[in-house]
Amino acid sequence: MTEQSPVTEATAKAVPALPDAQTVTAVTHYTDRLFSFRVTRPASLRFRSGEFVMIGLMGDPHPETGKQKPLLRAYSIASPSWDEELEFYSIKVEDGPLTSKLQHIEVGDQIILKPKPVGTLVHDALLPGKRIYFFSTGTGFAPFASLLREPDTYENYDEVIVTHTCRDVAELTYGANLIESIKQDEMMIELLGEENLAKIRYYPTTTREKSAKMGRITTLIENGELFTDLGVPPLNPETDRAMVCGSLAFNKDIAALMEAAGLHEGANSEPGEFVIEKAFVG
């Protein structure tokens, strides 16, 4: 006679029920629209800082068959390639198929993570230069949270200009905290070097709430305020490189500005002067 062991909540959580399951190790909520979380990293997963993976949860059971299908979306990995865990930065959309559920994850829960990293926001897709711009809006900051903790970023460039535009000040928190922590954390200082961290020029702007610097970054590029504020020359294809991550409309507008300044879009197969990736929304 066999006796089945009772399935308690603890054992149910400990045994991966999903293929490609990873366990949530931390969750931080910033606003009613934004949160970040960390999960365990599959031992075999190698990626380049700036790449993305497909992550998600099981969808609702089919009304007739009861079968569940994975609900997956592309998420930039916000942690650097050397980190033991993986970090993600996400929007919460009330009726978003994935984020309406994902926003409720807690430490110990499991998510699905397909260990096949890809993406164009990688150093390999850019030609050598002197100054790199990271242009982001909203959760488009995520790949730069990874790249800002990657030693190559500082080895490759003399200046690292990070722009982040959000509707209000609270939405800047994740990025602001990250930059602050990189500059203060002893492990980071040792890994990246104090003189390298001094290369970071952080330029946050808001569009719907009053703050120290207001306006869409596209406007601030067009009217030249970005360059005057930072005391740097206008965009120059000889020296300047850019990585761009935000909404489709944002990416399109920035791409037009980069091209007008003589920079050409690059890819893994053919490095160029700027690269673009869409931040996941929904």
Question: Rounded to the nearest whole angstrom, what is the least distance from the CB of residue 168 to ligand A2P in the complex?
Answer: 8
Closest separation between CB of residue 217 and ligand A2P, Å?
6
The smaller minimum CB distance to ligand A2P, of residues 157 and 250, is found at 250
Range 113-116 contact pairs with CB under 8 angstroms and sequence separation of 24 or more = 113/20, 113/21, 113/22, 113/39, 113/42, 113/53, 113/54, 113/55, 113/86, 114/20, 114/53, 114/54, 114/55, 114/72, 115/20, 115/42, 115/44, 115/45, 115/53, 116/53, 116/54
Residues that bind ligand A2P (CB under 6 A): 137-138, 165-167, 207-208, 216, 218, 247, 249-250, 253
Contact in structure between 59 and 70 (CB atoms under 8 Å): yes
Q: Could you count the other beta carbons within 10 Å of the beta carbon of residue 48?
A: 21
| Smaller CB separation from ligand A2P, 23 or 31 | 31
Specify the 3-state DSSP secondary structure of 131.
strand
Residue 256 C-beta: closest distance to ligand A2P, Å? 10
The SS3 assignment for 87 reads strand
Shortest CB 126 distance to ligand A2P, Å: 22
Q: Closer to ligand A2P at the Cβ: 20 or 171?
A: 171
**Distance separating alpha carbons of residues 112 and 69, to the nearest angstrom:** 11
**Residue 251 Cβ vs ligand A2P, minimum distance, rounded to whole Å:** 8
CB of 97 to ligand A2P, least distance (A): 18
In angstroms, rounded to a whole number, what is the distance separating the alpha carbons of residues 199 and 177? 17
Q: Which is nearer to ligand A2P, 18 or 281 (CB)?
A: 281
Shortest spacing between CB 270 and ligand A2P, in angstroms = 26
Query: Contact, 143 vs 162, CB < 8 A?
Result: no
Comparison of 122 and 235: residue with beta carbon closer to ligand A2P: 235
Given the complex with ligand A2P, which of 15 and 249 has the nearer CB atom?
Answer: 249
Pick the closer one to ligand A2P by CB: 240 or 253.
Answer: 253
